[in-house]
Structure 1
């Protein structure tokens, strides 16, 4: 029913072990009070504080990190802070929803990863590259490079990427339809029916993967049939520049 322990740096008293107790640690400069361990307790010290009233609330703070629960296991917030770097992570029901933001104060850059299982995964890099994929069957649970490279492409039916410069790409159903746009060019395809690439003073159109192939540039036009490497060429004023608009 009762236990006590004393050493040069630690003093502890416990009633109805291990539920109720009081302890101090002079080395760590901490004082812990257990009201119903491990659900209800407080820790106060110069380097760490803990307040737990589970399952309603839990908060742990150190010099450079905090971890908080609200209505466990519904919502969790973790923060890591240093003079040059900050990471904040929010989670709902462990992996159902997660949002991680990393920022660097020195250069003002930010990186984000947001996931809602099993619907989508959104990420933005420190260089401004953004990506949205769906569905997200495993990535919200296991954030691993091997899953991202080897397995995730098997179930991703929608992949969109874009940046602040206006470049963008989109893939539906494993490139059954795709488009790729940059500042000066546009390409898109509906497999296997139609494919088009255009840029200023250039246009190329393929029907049925080259059964009919038409291209034009600033000084020449060409029409070829049946996937042949040669075709009918003629000269004429190009309309390729308008095709990009």
Structure 2
């Protein structure tokens, strides 16, 4: 059962345990994984790497400076330099392209719609669609007229924040300057605000929103055209009220004393003392017992969470689709463990991923695949960023363990200076101490190598005689032995 817990980056000590290895550490180490056909090579310890998959796609680079990915026809599909400082991606099939400099200067071309975007945050924004109606070039703070962006239908500014105009769902808010003076117009909408002194805006017959000396006094009404309008009002810190259909919340001497009483769409009642620190609540499929920061326990719609001495220890349990999740954290990332169990196959082994920062990370998919890395200072922060994990994580991999299936394992120490692989399926053992010594054992044959294979001893059964070879390894080992006995 393969559960949704991602593994570690594999480029530092990649491939299955069955990999046949040539070890000239630290200059280069190469091996082929017969289970996948992947060829993997590392240069200068963890710095240089190259991987060629069975489908002829390749990835190579020099950590942490750059990497490149090529398709089977040799086309460059992705590259980066000092990632995440700069990276570029392209799709040979769709001709889409994008590149980014630290996610601040971004270029993107969507070939299917022939749309090009270029931004240099927070100063320059542009989009070219071929149509002047939804194309733009904008310079912050000088001038901009930008449609369908920044959460607005249109955002127009000149010498911002001196002048700005926001349009969304037929409502126009003009600010001169932002955020202090605002005028609201639109069909059925009107309003004027001098923040934080006073302001009022309304949609005739539908909603009303006022404040004075914000946030000391506020009053919001919505749903005035319905049978159950809502009201939010407060004169802080004396009193606050939030009321809607089936719900009421009142606070006295905010935030010291208050309660919540809900009857729709579910039943729930809670009492607050110095909210949000002390809360006692209970209702349909939910319960809150919070005495923060000392202890907090809550259960809401199947999501159960416990805090001890926040933020020291956190534990959470929840169900998602056909999986049960459990997460345990010490100071968020010092210790971080995720476990997943199948709800439909309760007897199946769980999948897990554990980080003890920065000492090690381990991964078990519950179906026989396991990985361990020490040291591991970046895995917990970038669990889903393959490029960060490919370029940075292997630099710290003093020790690596990889099991592709039970009995198919590989150990690597000091970036492949010392490696050991075992395959129960092939009844094969392989050990390398850099180029100094190598040992391979498989049914009917035993091989010893010294100095990267320049001196080799071979013994095969049933003769059980040793053969010695000196010199570079030929294409075939059928060359005449130096001596035998």
In structure 2, relative to structure 1, the CA distance for the partners of 1:122 and 1:7 (3 Å cut) is: closer
1:191 pairs with one of 411, 414, 434: 434
What SS does the aligned partner of 2:377 have?
coil
2:460 pairs with one of 197, 214, 217: 217
Deviations 1:199-232 (A, max 9, x none): 1111222211122123343468653322152742
Deviation at 1:196, TM superposition (A): 1.7
Deviation at 1:234, TM superposition (A): 8.8
Deviations 1:101-143 (A, max 9, x none): 1111433231111221111112211212222210111113332
- Please tell me whether the aligned partners of residues 285 and 302 of structure 2 are also in contact (alpha carbons under 8 angstroms): no
Q: What does residue 480 of structure 2 align with? A: 232
1:15 pairs with one of 238, 247, 252: 252
Cα distance between partner residues in 2 of 1:6 and 1:65 = 26
Q: What does residue 395 of structure 2 align with? A: 154
In structure 2, relative to structure 1, the CA distance for the partners of 1:13 and 1:228 (3 Å cut) is: closer
In structure 2, relative to structure 1, the CA distance for the partners of 1:216 and 1:18 (3 Å cut) is: same
Q: What does residue 140 of structure 1 align with? A: 380
Q: What does residue 167 of structure 1 align with? A: 408
- Please tell me whether the aligned partners of residues 129 and 163 of structure 1 are also in contact (alpha carbons under 8 angstroms): yes
Gaps of 5+ in 1: 238-245
TM-score by length of 2: 0.45
In the alignment of these two chains, the number of paired residues is 237
1:201 pairs with one of 438, 444, 465: 444
TM-score by length of 1: 0.85
- Please tell me whether the aligned partners of residues 203 and 215 of structure 1 are also in contact (alpha carbons under 8 angstroms): yes
- Please tell me whether the aligned partners of residues 221 and 234 of structure 1 are also in contact (alpha carbons under 8 angstroms): no
Cα distance between partner residues in 2 of 1:111 and 1:148 = 20
**Structure of greater Rg:** 2
Q: What does residue 310 of structure 2 align with? A: 72
Cα distance between partner residues in 2 of 1:5 and 1:227 = 83
What SS does the aligned partner of 2:452 have?
coil
- Please tell me whether the aligned partners of residues 341 and 349 of structure 2 are also in contact (alpha carbons under 8 angstroms): yes
Question: Bigger relative contact order, structure 1 or 2, given CA contacts below 8 A and separation 6+?
Answer: 2
169-178 or 89-98: bigger deviation:
89-98
Cα distance between partner residues in 1 of 2:422 and 2:244 = 70
Deviation at 1:235, TM superposition (A): 10
